[in-house]
Structure 1
Amino acid sequence: MSDEPVDDRDREGPPEPQEGSDEPQPALADADAASPPLETDGEGVVGDHPSPEPTYPDSDDDLGGVSTPPGDEEMPLADHIEEMVLRLAVVLLFAAGGTAIGLLWASQAIEFVWFSVFPSGGNAPPPHVYQPLELWLTRIKVASLLGIMVALPAFVYECYLFMRPGLYPNERKYYLAAVPTSVVLGAIGMLFSYVLVLPILFQYFTYYAEGSAIVAYALGETFNLIITLMGFLAIVFQIPLFIMLAIMMGVTTRRWLAQKRLYFWAAFAGLAFMFTLDPTGMAPILVAVTMILLFEGTLFVLKWVGR
């Protein structure tokens, strides 16, 4: 037995806590007993010790303050583009089919529209063709109107299917209610233009030059004006829907819209004169009056129902 003093570092076991020390000592024995022995092959841990599976948040959980709708799934950008292209192809297929069907009766449709929008009583002026392809281009434009009308419901439905995974249930309800309403309002706007605005406009065109000139209407230019007005009034008739959605979403109130009505009237007049190409000013005035009546009518209905 050696009489040399034993160094503290040569002692086996954990060091004993010193008196007067408040530092907590690690419970090495407890830690060793709690952790199972690990097998290693020199390069890494081996054995039957499966790593814990990563947990992902639920689709309804809050992620960074932004909640995700139920059914929303992460998809690569390429898959989104592919789905969008396929759905657009379906819409174009409906549009092409409607246009092809419309070409069969395009000439009859041109004649029907021509004698409907001009003054009745046999005073409708005959159409004039000034370019070789003017008649065919007009037939294609008229047939395209039918193609658009056929493709519009398909476009609405395909848009809904594309956006459905990213919409909340209440947003789906608003979409399903607002989009058909928008289609109906657009159809009413086109019908309003065809029945009321266009006859008044062409009657004015026909009689304002009476006695001083003979007005000859070009087929292509006349139908350009007809199609432009019908399309623009289809958009104009969305004003009640836009107002209702803005109030429902809390963007504005009926009282604020009523207080700023003069600004809206000026904006309506500016848009009418900007998008309705008529140097006489008759068409912009009719469109502006229609927009103002729709705006004021919507505010009156909201005040009447108390919402």
Structure 2
Amino acid sequence: MTVEEKQTFITHMEELRRAIIISVTAIVVGACVAFYYNEAILAVIVSPLSALQETLIVTSVTEAFFVKIKLALYAGFVLAFPIVVWAVWRFIKPGLYPHERKYVYILLPVTVLLFAGGVLFAYFGILPLVLNFFIYIAGENLETFFKIDQYVSFVTAFTIPFGLVFELPVLVFFLTKIGVIKPDWMAKNRKYALLAIVVIAAALTPGPDPISQLMMAVPVYFLYEVSIWVSRWAAKGRTRQSEIGGDDGQAT
């Protein structure tokens, strides 16, 4: 490794360290802000259960405190997510061509919106149905009480993965642009993708029940179909870019 290569490597490591520091700092600051407003955040978290007229209980001396710490960290990650995305973009920007940066400028807000959309979809659309199902299964002969610690863990483990898997179209766009995947390959392997989605849904959902797994698998498969169209669009753009590059090479 030459001296210039070593300097380049050290520079990349410094940029990576700076991106990690920015991301961690943003999450910590977001967690501190969330902890200050923990009562309001907790009210939002428990509102789907309160709407079903169910009761939350605390069963240990320290449970409420650690629940608020855990909730602050989760909320801090959600609040800091745009900054984390920006820090990652800042790190990879020097290695991108101008036309690639143009796509990133478009996809950065899309990434944030998809994450927020996934979390909100899970919270408003899926979570009430799942809670109602579990309460219905308990039946009339059992009086249900939910531990606050387990409930908060369930909600966060249910909603945040939705935000992450909603990033699938963005991931597919980039993988198509760099030539890792092709739209025809995605369309041909639908059945394997469906199997993988079911397995991932089983791993990410907080409970072993098939209902919550199905609730995650169905929208994710829909996103897979959307991603095929995104891949086709990205592939067309990549082909045009190659043709332009080829014409330039012939002219030179």
Normalised TM-score (structure 2): 0.80
Q: How does 1:25-64 map to 2 (within 5 A)?
A: none
Q: Does structure 1 retain, via aligned residues, the 8 Å contact 2:169–2:223?
A: yes
Residue type of the partner of 2:49? F
Residue type of the partner of 1:103? F
User: Offset of 1:79 from its aligned partner?
Assistant: 4.7
Q: Deviations over 1:237-282 (max 9, x none)?
A: 1122233333343333333322221111111011111221312221
Q: How does 1:137-152 map to 2 (within 5 A)?
A: 137-152=66-81
Q: Does structure 2 retain, via aligned residues, the 8 Å contact 1:201–1:283?
A: yes
- Residue of structure 2 in register with 1:100 after alignment: 32
Q: How many residues align?
A: 233
Residue type of the partner of 1:220? D
State the structure with more CA Rg: 1
Q: Deviations over 1:109-162 (max 9, x none)?
A: 2123212x2273xx3211111222211122122222332233222222222333
Q: 1:238 aligns with which of 154, 157, 167?
A: 167
Residue type of the partner of 1:182? T
Q: Distance in 1 between matches of 2:92 and 2:7?
A: 13
User: Offset of 1:176 from its aligned partner?
Assistant: 2.8
Q: Distance in 1 between matches of 2:20 and 2:228?
A: 37
- Residue of structure 1 in register with 2:42 after alignment: 110
Q: Deviations over 1:211-257 (max 9, x none)?
A: 23222111111111111111110111112223333334333333332
Residue type of the partner of 2:20? L
- Residue of structure 2 in register with 1:167 after alignment: 96
1:211 aligns with 2:140: yes
With over 3 angstroms needed to count, the CA separation of the structure-2 counterparts of 1:160 and 1:281, relative to structure 1, is same
Q: In structure 2, list runs of 5 or more residues that go unmatched.
A: 237-252
What percent identity do the matched residue pairs reach?
24
Partner secondary structure for residue 54 of structure 2 = coil
Q: Distance in 2 between matches of 1:281 and 1:192?
A: 19
- Residue of structure 2 in register with 1:225 after alignment: 154
Q: Does structure 2 retain, via aligned residues, the 8 Å contact 1:94–1:151?
A: yes
- Residue of structure 2 in register with 1:279 after alignment: 208
Q: 1:255 aligns with which of 145, 169, 184?
A: 184
Q: CA RMSD in A?
A: 2.8
Structure with the higher helix share, 1 or 2: 2
Partner secondary structure for residue 118 of structure 1 = helix
Structure with more relative contact order (C-alpha pairs < 8 Å, separation 6 or more)? 2
Q: Does structure 2 retain, via aligned residues, the 8 Å contact 1:258–1:299?
A: yes
Q: In structure 1, list runs of 5 or more residues that go unmatched.
A: 1-71
Q: 1:85 aligns with which of 8, 17, 24?
A: 17
Residue type of the partner of 2:209? T
Residue type of the partner of 2:70? K
Q: Deviations over 1:196-218 (max 9, x none)?
A: 11111101111111123222111
